[in-house]
Structure 1
Amino acid sequence: MTGTETNGAEAAPPNYTLCDLWTEFCQTTAIHGFNKISTPTCRFTFRGILWTLAVCGATGFLIFNLMSEIGDYYSYPIATKVTNKIRNTIEFPAVTICNRCTLNKTRLASFPDLESYFRDSSLQQRSSGVYNFDDIDDGIMLQPLSLDWWTNMSMDASSLFHLCYFGGESIDCSSNFLPVFTDEGLCHTFNFNASDIVNVKNSGNGANLIINYNIAQQYYTFRENMAAGIKVLLHNSRHHPDANPTVVMAAPGFSTYVAMHKSEYVYLPDPYMAFDEMDCVDTNSPDFVNPLKYYSPYTYDHCFMECIQTKVFNLCGCVGPSDPRSTGPDVPICSLEKQDTCYSISIREMGKNTTFEEECKCSTQCTFETFSAQVSSSGYPADIWAELLNNSTQSESSEYFRNNYLELRVFYDKMMVTSTKQHPQYTQATLFSNVGGQMGLCLGASILTVAEIWELLVFIFLYFVDKLRGRKARNRINNW
């Protein structure tokens, strides 16, 4: 008995083959159908062949679906959500007021040829022509100008703004409307680049900004624009007035109501295509550095404006009054001659040149806001108020008042903001969820099943290692 046990203990372990490894894997794995494929002798049977075909078909279908899922994930699809949000407070935009004639005729009188120049030059511009400077003797037209000169030749805010109200309270017009040069000339802006941006807590035509304005037509001179009234620009308080504002016109003799609505946009940065085939710049990223030299913050409009102004400066050797470089000591402001023959022409041509726009390589920022406006108006003033207002403004007559004075009300129609926000349609969680569903549907598999397959591959590798080293392969599935 003892000898028999000794002989059994010294017997060599059975030879372990790939067939044994495969059979044990098929019998222990959680993948559906594998336990019906293999037999202990690894011989093919009709039933095994059918199950092999079924498993291969399900595996092929799974691979096809997985490739589709992964392709969808790396195409970075976007879902857009639009919501209306009620706010307790809303940031009020900057409101820029530009008289349709920013120059003052009486101040130009010290330069005898200027009025006729502005008349003839304006007519030439309307016919796409260029004023002829050959017979000009007045040096003011040929010499570089300065911001002080343009300021002195422009309308003064103290003579334009009569009364100003904000939030139902009277405010000082001169200190709250700051001078700023735009493409229109010298304008005046409320709530622009202020250290404390104004917010409103109420909506309605009497709750926000109200101004009484005198366009002073008696001081008008000839300009390309032939209208009388004011141009109102609504824009972000931190952006230059020329940077894609909402534009409203108001005429004298009318009370103009501008009911605003604010919209906020948040788009996804690279690798997502925020605008179909174009991506956007994430200016809120901690790694973002503003590439612009003269405008801040970065916006598409600031970028395009700087690109045009830089190109025109290189062509003409001078800048316009609205160019930020005009405040520098070493950059000349164009003379009237240079402005007509080079600067203004170049600005107009580049502004409508789509090829040049592509050369600037400006991208839209991912986060921005817009202001839409619904405008209505009524006659101003009512007859019953005419005499009283004439006396308070010391107007020459009721006719003068109606030809020069206007009322402007800028307000939010509701304490509501429309938010448009992009979200990734596929996240990693969505991808794993979809992949898991496909694996469960096709093979009844899961992430742990994938681990089983990797384990099988490791065991096969170790099997061949044992063979190459001249050892008998070991049964690791049951022994590990």
Structure 2
Amino acid sequence: MNFSFTSETADQIRPLIPYVLYSALPVNATPADYRSLHRLLTSANYTHSDFLEKISPDCETQLVRCKILGQVHPCNVLFQRVKTQHGFCCSFNYNVIINGNQTAEELSIHSNRFGPKWGLSVVLDPQIEDYYASRNKFGGYQVYAHGVYDFLNINDPHQLVFTGNSIHIHTAPLITQATTLLKNQDLHLRRCYLRNERKLLAFAEYTQQNCFSECRSGKVLKICGCVPPLWPRAQNWTVCTLLEASCIMAQIDTLFTTIYPSNTDYKSDLKAERYICDCYPECEFQGYKANFDSMSLDRNYSINNMDLYRGFELKNHLVVHAYYADMFGAYMRLDVVYHWQNYFGLFGGITSLFMGINFISGFEIIFFLSVRPVAHLLTRINKRRQAMKKQKELNKNHKVMRN
């Protein structure tokens, strides 16, 4: 890569390069190191973000060949270079909109079939001869499988893929829908957001992952007055320079420790989760469960899939296959487990089981213990009044006859 550095400046900046990803890498740098790096970049009219983008490998040279739906396509059509907390990554079908800017165009090529043949296959060249400030001591990639609208975070699950290996990512779709009864519940009782119910400052689409990312950025802004350049932020939030890196590193343990306190009783306190920036999951969402399998890559004894491997020799390459594992998916319904009708029916079932009665028997008991005695009492009173009335009439007639 071509930089506008003098040879002397390049020699000074070379040992400081690992510090540019201070918010993602465990580095032991002093405030003086950050000041020196900031001074060197400023002297060449580079901002921190510009330098990060400049030193990051590009996707066109690393993605050798791509295949989807059984057809080979140019990799630059399927993949885009996007900004994440790990740096700049090559992403497929990534559609996160930050501050009104779409990080990648929504692709028109999708697969709705299952099996490796109809999925996505990519041959990659990690270019290990160009490694200098690598995060890990191996040649290869970190492969992430996450939601289309989820901003890629440092703590996202991933799989390490080494050179000379082939990895299979087989996914299973999961669709969850909420019932009308759940939608009518109070937010902090159902503990999930309906569509467009919660708005974020940085992201156009709400996901729980994006909410946590924005929450973490907000905490950094409150403590240090700025947000690291690769972290999501609102438009009016200040971007940190290397001069604020020491503040970020001083709070790194707080930012990446567990967010659940040990003294919270989630069973008795219905609002126990509100303190986590109100980052509830979505009530209705479509997710994917991904499983990773890795194996050695050996083309010496195979003539299959020649259109993917034709024209180059596999040396330090690696291959990634992503596809649907089965023709079936999981469809789940998010509903209220217990409400007054359930308790009403549950009471009737328990009383029938342990007392040998049902609701009709219960009403009969109430009738015989209350309604029937009252009815008998009223009947006796009415008969007594009628008897007294007849007795008076007889006495009256007897007097008339005597006269």
| Alignment-derived partner of residue 324 in structure 2 | 412
User: Residue 136 of structure 1 is aligned with which of 36, 41, 48?
Assistant: 36
Show the counterpart of 1:336. Answer: 242
CA contact (8 A) 2:21 2:87 kept: no
Counterpart for residue 151 of structure 1: 53
Q: What's the CA shift string for 1:343-367, capped at 9, x where partnerless?
A: 3553552121436994533222223
Does residue 209 of the first structure (1) align with residue 109 of the second (2)? no
Offset of 1:150 from its aligned partner? Answer: 2.4
Task: After superposition, give the CA deviation of every residue in 1:405-447 in whole Å (9 maximum; x if it has no partner).
Answer: 111101111021123334334456556666788541213389x
| RMSD over equivalenced CA pairs, Å | 4.2
Distance 1:205 1:246, change over 3 A: farther
Residue number in structure 1 paired with 2:226: 318
How many pairs align?
A: 330
Letter of the aligned partner of 1:323 in structure 2?
W
Deviation per CA, 1:238-274, whole angstroms, max 9, x where unpaired? 2222297552221111121122222334567588799
Cα separation, partners in 2 of 1:231 and 1:267, compared to 1, 3 Å? farther
**Bigger mean CA deviation after superposition, 130-139 or 343-352:** 130-139
Counterparts of 1:346-357 in structure 2, within 5 Å, are 346-354=251-259
CA distance in 1, matches of 2:4, 2:86: 17
Greater Cα shift, 203-212 or 347-356: 347-356
**2:288 matched to which residue of 1?**
371
Alignment of 1:264 onto 2:162: no
Kept in 1: contact 2:115–2:326 (CA 8 A):
yes
Q: Is the 8 A contact 1:161 1:213 kept in 2?
A: yes
Q: For the residues of structure 2 that align with 1:201 and 1:390, how far apart are their CA atoms? A: 24
Secondary structure at the aligned position of 2:251 is classed as helix
Indicate whether 1:222 and 2:124 are aligned: no
**Residue 114 (str. 1) matches residue 13 (str. 2):** yes
- Matched to 2:251, the amino acid is S
Residue 215 (structure 2) aligns with: 307
Establish whether residue 402 from structure 1 lines up as the match of residue 321 from structure 2.
Answer: no
Structure 1 residues not aligned, in runs of 5+: 1-103, 461-480
> Aligned-pair distance for 1:198?
5.1
| AA partner of residue 177 (structure 1) | F
Find out whether 1:172 has 2:74 as its counterpart: yes
Q: Is the aligned partner of 1:231 residue 2:231? A: no
Corresponding residue number in structure 2 for 1:189: 91
| Structure 2 letter corresponding to 1:336 | L
1:443 aligned partner? 363
- Deviation string 1:152-191 (CA, Å, 9 cap, x unpaired) is 2211111111101111112221132112111210002111
In structure 2, distance between residues paired with 1:254 and 1:353? 34
Conserved in 2, the CA contact under 8 Å of 1:192 and 1:237? Answer: yes
Amino acid at match of 2:222: N
Q: What is the CA–CA distance in structure 2 between the aligned matches of 1:170 and 1:272, rounded to whole Å?
A: 49
**Which secondary structure state, in structure 2, belongs to the residue aligned with residue 297 of structure 1?**
coil
Q: Which residue of 1 aligns with 2:264?
A: none
The separation in 1 between residues aligned to 2:128 and 2:189, in whole angstroms, is 47
TM-score relative to the length of structure 1: 0.57
Distance 1:314 1:199, change over 3 A: same
Gaps of 5+ in 2: 96-104, 262-272, 350-357, 379-403
Structure 1 CA distance for aligned equivalents of residues 68 and 309 of structure 2: 23
Q: Quick one: structure 1 residues 150 and 209, their matched pair in 2 at CA, closer, same or farther if it must change by over 3 Å? A: same
Q: How far, CA to CA, are the matches of 2:342 and 2:302 in structure 1? A: 67
**Mapping for residues 40-189 of structure 1, pairs under 5 Å:** 112=10, 113-118=12-17, 129-133=28-32, 136=36, 139-140=39-40, 145=47, 147-189=49-91
Secondary structure in 2 aligned to 1:187? Answer: strand
1:292 aligns with 2:200: yes
Instruction: Read off the aligned partner of 1:324 and give its amino acid letter.
Output: P
Partner of 2:278: 361
Distance 1:239 1:120, change over 3 A: closer
Distance (Å, rounded) in 1 between the aligned partners of 2:256 and 2:248: 12
Q: Is the 8 A contact 2:41 2:48 kept in 1?
A: no
Cα distance in structure 2, aligned partners of 1:253 and 1:108: 36
Q: Deviations over 1:36-88 (max 9, x none)?
A: xxxxxxxxxxxxxxxxxxxxxxxxxxxxxxxxxxxxxxxxxxxxxxxxxxxxx
The amino acid across from 1:442 in the alignment is G
Give the 3 Å change call, closer, same or farther, for CA 302–138 of structure 1 in structure 2. Answer: closer
Q: For residues 137 and 202 of structure 1, do their structure 2 counterparts lie closer, same or farther at Cα, with a shift above 3 Å needed?
A: closer
